[in-house]
A and B are shown apart, each in its own frame.
Chain A
C-alpha cells in the first residue's frame, strides 16, 4: 500500500517529501524546545508561580508591579544605553578598521585574525580578565597606566557613573572581530568597475567613500545594526561576571534586563515575574527590529 503510494508519485513529489522528512527534525526540535517554551512564557507571565507549587492566575499584576518598580526603569534604561551607545561605537570602529584593513595586503590575514580572536574567546574568561584590569592600584592595569601619567585613579566598576561603560567596553571589543569580517566581505563585494569609473571621473577618496562605498554597504550595515542591537539588548555574560557578586551593581547601575530576568527566575524563583520581563524584552526586541527594517525599507523595495 505504502509502496504503491510512493511509486505513484512524481519525482518532484518524492523530492518534496524527502526534503520535508529531513526538515521535520529541526522543525520538531525548534517547536518543542524553542517555540513552545516561548509561548509558555507568555502564559506564565500572567501567573504567580514559584517553580514548585501550582500556578495561580493573577492577571496583569506581574506587569503592573514591574512598571511600578523603580529598579525596573533603571534596568530598562541601562539595557537601552548598552544598545544605543554600544552599537554606533562598535560599528564605527569596526568599519574604520575594515576600511583600512581592506586596503593593505601586507599582514592582512594576521591582523584580521587578531581582531577575530576576541570573538572566539568565551565571554566569561574575557570578562574576568577585564575585571582585573579595572581594579584599583596595586593590581589593576588601567589604573597603573593612569598613574604613570599622573592621572587620578578611576573607580571604573565601583562607580555608578562609569560602571556601565566599563562593562560595555569589552562587549564592544569582543564583537569587533565579527563585524570587521562582515564589513570586509561587504567591501570586497563592491564591483571593482565602480571604483575605476569613479577614479576616471576624478572622484577623491572621501567622495568614493561617501558616494560608492557607504551606499553599497547599506545592506551589510543594516544587517550588522540589527544583529548587534539584539546582541547588546541581550547583554548578560559580561555584566554577570564583571559586577561584584554578579548583581549588576553598584546600585543596579550596570544591570541589564536579562540579568534581572535571571535573578527573578533563579534567585527568587518568581517565574511569573521573570516571564513577564521576558515578554517585555521580547516586545522591545520586536519593536527595535521592525523599526530598523522600516528605516531600511527602500533597500528592499529597490530589489
Chain B
C-alpha cells in the first residue's frame, strides 16, 4: 500500500518535473510574427515554408497572420506604429518609401544579407529595395508582364504566332477586331485597360522603346514629358483613337474581355495565368512583350519581405533567419509551384524547366530586361497615366499637352514627398 503511494508520488513528481523542464525549453523558443495579405495560394505557400523552417529551427516558431488586401496597409501601419504587429512583413515594393518614411521597417542587417551577395544573386530590379545605402527588404518572387493571346481568334484571323514587334502588334490588333454593322465592337483586337497593367506598359516599356525614361534615376523628377513620352502615349491611345481596335474598358476590364473570348490580345502578369487556365473554352498562349528596333523591355514588380521596426534583439535575429529562408532557392521553387509567381533569383528562374515552361517561360525571360518603377505611391502615379490617356481619347487633347498637364501635377506630388 505504502509502496503504491510512493510510486504514485514519484510518478506525479516526474510529470510535474517534466512539465517544468519542458516549459522552460519552450520559454527559450522565440516566437515571431509574419504578416501578409490573404490570397489562398500565398497563405498555403507560407504555411508550407513555415513548416519546413520550424523543422530545421525547432527553437523558433512563426505565427502567420493574413488580412484581406483591402485592409492590409491600414492594419500594418497602425499595428507597427503602436508597437504591435509583425516582426516580418510583406510589402509591395512600391510602398517602400511610404513604409520607410513612416518608420515601419528597418534596414536588413548587413552580416546576414551582404550587399554583394544580394546584387549577384537576385534579379537587378531588386536593387529598387536599396535606399540610402541599405537594403530594406527582399522578395521571394517577382512579377513581369507578357502578352496573352487567344489561339482560336488568331487562327480565325489567319495569324500564326504572336506579334514580335510593336508595329506588328498594331497590325495584328486590326486583323483581330470585329464590329457590327453600326460599328460597335463585337470583338477587340487588343484590350486596352489603363486601370490594369497598361500604365506599366506605357511607363517602362513604350517610353523606353521610344528613347526616353519615365523618371530620373533617383526617382525625384518626372522625365516622361518629352517626345519619347508623347510618342509612347500616342502609340497606346492610337489603338482606340486611330486604329479602332478596341476601347478602354470594353466589357468592363481587359481581363474580362479576354476571358470571355472577346479580345485577341491583352497584357497581364503571371498572376493572371491561373484565372485564364480555369476559364472554360479559352484557348490561349503567352508570349514575351513585343519588341521594337531589336530590343525588348519589360516591367517587373514584386512583394518584398521586410523586418519591421518592432523586431528587436533575439526576435530580430529569428526574423532575419526566417527571411534568409524565405529568400532561399528552395523557398522560391515552392512559391513558383504553389503561387505561380516567378523566382527572384536567376539561379532558380533560369533553369531550363522554368525558362522553357510554356506559361511561365515568357515571363521569366522577360525578367532579364525588366525594370521596376520607383514609385512613391503607386495609385496617384498610375492616375496620371489614366488621366493623360483620357485627355487624349475623350477630350481630343494632343499627347504633348496631356503629358504636360499630368507631369506638372505628378512633379508636385514628388516634390511634396521628397521635401523639395
With A52-B104, A268-B380 in contact, is A137–B195 under 8 Å at CB? no
| CB of B164 within 8 Å of the partner chain | no
Stretch from A17-25, A118-126, A244-252 contacting the other chain:
A244-252
**How far apart sit A157 and B195, CA to CA, in the bound complex (Å)?**
14
| CB of A26 within 8 Å of the partner chain | no
| CB of B2 within 8 Å of the partner chain | no
User: Taking CB as reference atom, which chain B residue is nearest A266?
Assistant: B74
CB contact list, A3-48 vs B, under 8 A: none
| CB of B225 within 8 Å of the partner chain | no
With A52-B103, A249-B390 in contact, is A160–B395 under 8 Å at CB? yes
Count residues on chain A whose CB falls below 8 Å from chain B CBs: 29
| CB of A159 within 8 Å of the partner chain | yes
Q: Are A135 and B252 in contact (CB under 8 A)?
A: yes
Count residues on chain B whose CB falls below 8 Å from chain A CBs: 32
| CB of A138 within 8 Å of the partner chain | yes
- Give chain B nearest CB distance to A276 CB in angstroms: 15
Q: Which residues of B contact A268 (CB under 8 A)?
A: 377, 379-380
| CB of B77 within 8 Å of the partner chain | yes
Q: Are B252 and A251 in contact (CB under 8 A)?
A: no
Q: Which residues of A contact B248 (CB under 8 A)?
A: 158
- Which residue of the partner chain, among B77, B249, B250, B383, contacts A51 with CB atoms under 8 Å? B77
- Give chain A nearest CB distance to B177 CB in angstroms: 13
With A158-B249, A251-B395, A269-B98 in contact, is A136–B185 under 8 Å at CB? yes
Q: Are A267 and B380 in contact (CB under 8 A)?
A: yes
Q: Which residues of A contact B102 (CB under 8 A)?
A: 50-53, 269
Q: Which residues of B contact A267 (CB under 8 A)?
A: 377, 379-380
Q: Are A251 and B387 in contact (CB under 8 A)?
A: yes
CB-based A-B contact count at 8 angstroms: 77
- Give chain A nearest CB distance to B358 CB in angstroms: 30
**How far apart sit A244 and B395, CA to CA, in the bound complex (Å)?**
17
Q: Are B251 and A135 in contact (CB under 8 A)?
A: yes
Q: Which residues of B contact A212 (CB under 8 A)?
A: none
Q: Which residues of B contact A247 (CB under 8 A)?
A: 383, 386
- Which residue of the partner chain, among A53, A137, A159, contacts B184 with CB atoms under 8 Å? A137
- Give chain B nearest CB distance to A135 CB in angstroms: 6
- Which residue of the partner chain, among B78, B180, B394, contacts A251 with CB atoms under 8 Å? B394
Q: Which residues of A contact B77 (CB under 8 A)?
A: 51-52, 269
Beyond the given pairs A158-B394, A269-B102, 11 more chain A to chain B contacts, judged by CB atoms under 8 angstroms and listed by A's residue number, are A53-B102, A136-B185, A136-B250, A139-B252, A158-B247, A158-B248, A245-B195, A245-B386, A249-B386, A267-B380, A268-B377
> Can you give 8 contacting A-B residue pairs, CB < 8 Å?
A51-B78, A52-B77, A137-B184, A137-B186, A138-B186, A143-B184, A251-B387, A251-B394
